[in-house]
Amino acid sequence: QKEVEQNSGPLSVPEGAIASLNCTYSDRGSQSFFWYRQYSGKSPELIMFIYSNGDKEDGRFTAQLNKASQYVSLLIRDSQPSDSATYLCAVTGTASKLTFGTGTRLQVTL
């Protein structure tokens, strides 16, 4: 079992729709959870972090964490073509090491 798992996609959503990106992790003691966005040819950039169970909203982005289910998700409301990118889930485990998933490619269509 991979430490952090994501569906590779591509996930295709029409402009204006909600994009839902999901991630599961194996280390039950994990404490910190992050979402990164990576445009083609660029380095990953941090867009959201969440530490507590529940929802955290930042503009059009909402991160959701369920530690009991070992599940973290990212919702993007009113998706725009500029949101088309690969989204990487990252988790800090009990050894304080940050581990990345392989990413989900999102395509927002006109």
Partner 1 sequence: GAGVSQSPSNKVTEKGKDVELRCDPISGHTALYWYRQSLGQGLEFLIYFQGNSAPDKSGLPSDRFSAERTGGSVSTLTIQRTQQEDSAVYLCASSSPLRDRTEAFFGQGTRLTVV
**Taking the complex as a whole, how short is the minimal distance between the CB of residue 16 and partner 1, in angstroms?**
28
10 in contact with partner 1 (CB under 8 A): no
Beta bridge partner(s), residue 104 = 87
Nearest CB to partner 1, comparing residues 15 and 91: 91
Give the dihedral of Cα atoms 57, 104, 39, 91; nearest 10 deg: 60
Beta bridge partner(s), residue 27 = none
Paired sense of beta strands 61-66 and 54-58, if any: antiparallel
89 in contact with partner 1 (CB under 8 A): no
Q: Mask: binding to partner 1, 67-86, rule CB under 8 A, as x and -?
A: -------------------x
CA distances from 86 to 11, 41, 51, 83, 108 (A): 10, 11, 22, 9, 11
Contact region with partner 1 (CB under 8 A), list: 10-18, 39-47, 68-76, 77-85: 39-47
Interface ranges with partner 1 (CB under 8 A): 8, 31-32, 34, 43-46, 49, 51, 86, 88, 90, 92, 95-103
